Chains A and B, each alone.
Chain A
Amino acid sequence: MSHVNWISATIGLLTAGLIFYLVRRDHLHTRYALWWVPVAMVMAILGVFPQIADWIGRTLGISYPPVIPLLLGLVAMVVKILVMDIERSRNEVKLTRLVQRVAILEKRLEDRLSKGGKTD
């Protein structure tokens, strides 16, 4: 194997290993593992067999195959980040409505505790 192959193999396998370790130790929620495990596997495979990128390049008529993993990686990141922001927006809605609800409940509690005084 050439010099480049050792590096890409190491990176690919290490990343894959890290992701599996994180899932095993419950540092990464299984739901997100659904994304990261395939990513890890693709990285490992492309790392050990970079010839696959060459093959894809030949089949699709792309003149510079090394750009393929880069492109795939970028597209994956854009999708991932967009999905993350969508999820963050959902969380923000939940949090906002929760804070509102707590404020209303606290008021009702206050009023009830001071029954006999003004309840408005």
Chain B
Amino acid sequence: MFHSVLILIPAHNEAGSVSAVIREVIHRTGCRVVVIDDASTDNTAIIAREAGAMVLTLAVQLGAWGALQAGMRFALQQGYRFVITMDADGQHEARDLTRLFAPVYNGLSDVSIGACTSRGSKMRKIAWVFLKWISGLGMEDITSGFRAYNTAAVQLLAGRDATLLEYQDIGVLAHLKRNALAITEIQVEMCSRTSGRSRVYSSWLMVAYYMVQASILGFSKRGRK
């Protein structure tokens, strides 16, 4: 089932948790894994290689989306037909991979999101309600990085127009919708992070910055093309 799938894990200084994630994924699915080392200053890349992943190292820090897009371009070049994205911090469970990938594998959807709406603080939930309203996206979990994409989706997201979609959530989802790609959600459990804290919600300033950006992006990309 995972024969033509590439799993992408963007990582910036995740030496503490990435190894376990990689090993679990390979153990459960035998799938090929690429870790995109987003200019880490620790030994994330070395640890990832030792755990059995391929590594793409970015010379300049591009952020999660830039890193993921690098992985998607690599996947297309190497001929993979599907891509599954996961976080490096242990939040996403490898045992959910089969269920997550099934709708895309079976051609029922172009994209499948692993949704876990019960996670996160009150603040995050309020933020979600607002962002969902302003962007008109019909999804429950808009910030989940646990997703499966088929070839059409990967080709779209690897393109120039998708390059400046800061943060992989609203911008990416809106872009997919505008290009009439089908998105479905699968309920999953998410563990609390094994290491590190949320980067987006780490301080009021960051939250405000993120909210303004996401709102503008979501609002400006409403509707079908």
A interface residue numbers (CB < 8 A to B): 89, 92-93, 95-97, 99-104, 106-107, 120
Count chain B CB atoms within 10 A of each CB in A89, A92, A104 and give the residue with the most.
A104
Residues in chain A near residue B59, CB distance under 8 A: 99, 102-103
Query: From DSSP, what is the main secondary structure of chain B's interface residues?
Result: mixed
Closest-by-CB residue of B relative to A97 is: B163
Residues in chain A near residue B58, CB distance under 8 A: 99-100, 103
A-B contact pairs, 29 of them (CB 8 A): A92-B164, A93-B164, A96-B62, A96-B66, A96-B164, A97-B160, A97-B163, A99-B58, A99-B59, A99-B60, A99-B62, A99-B66, A100-B58, A100-B62, A100-B69, A100-B73, A102-B59, A103-B56, A103-B58, A103-B59, A103-B70, A104-B56, A104-B70, A104-B73, A104-B77, A107-B56, A107-B57, A107-B74, A120-B54
- Cα distance, A36 to B62, chains bound together (Å): 33
- Cα distance, A97 to B66, chains bound together (Å): 8
The answer to the question of B36 belonging to the interface, with a C-beta cut-off of 8 Å to chain A, is yes
* 8 Å CB contact of A100 from B55, B66, B164: B66
Residues in chain B near residue A100, CB distance under 8 A: 58, 62, 66, 69-70, 73
* Cross-chain pair count, CB within 8 angstroms: 47
Given A96-B69, A96-B163, 13 extra CB contacts under 8 A: A93-B163, A93-B164, A97-B160, A97-B163, A99-B58, A99-B59, A99-B62, A99-B66, A104-B73, A104-B74, A107-B56, A107-B57, A120-B54
Residues in chain B near residue A107, CB distance under 8 A: 54-57, 74
- The digit string for B50-94, where 1 denotes a CB below 8 A from any CB of A, is 000011111110100010011001100100000000000000000
Closest-by-CB residue of B relative to A103 is: B56
Residues in chain B near residue A104, CB distance under 8 A: 56, 70, 73-74, 77
Residues in chain A near residue B177, CB distance under 8 A: none
Chain A nearest CB from B109 CB (Å) reads 27
Query: From DSSP, what is the main secondary structure of chain A's interface residues?
Result: helix
The answer to the question of B23 belonging to the interface, with a C-beta cut-off of 8 Å to chain A, is no
Closest-by-CB residue of B relative to A102 is: B59
- Cα distance, A101 to B54, chains bound together (Å): 16
Chain B nearest CB from A90 CB (Å) reads 10
Chain B nearest CB from A97 CB (Å) reads 6
- Cα distance, A89 to B163, chains bound together (Å): 10
Residues in chain A near residue B77, CB distance under 8 A: 104
The answer to the question of B132 belonging to the interface, with a C-beta cut-off of 8 Å to chain A, is no
Residues in chain A near residue B222, CB distance under 8 A: none
- Cα distance, A107 to B66, chains bound together (Å): 17
Residues in chain A near residue B73, CB distance under 8 A: 100-101, 104
Chain A nearest CB from B70 CB (Å) reads 4
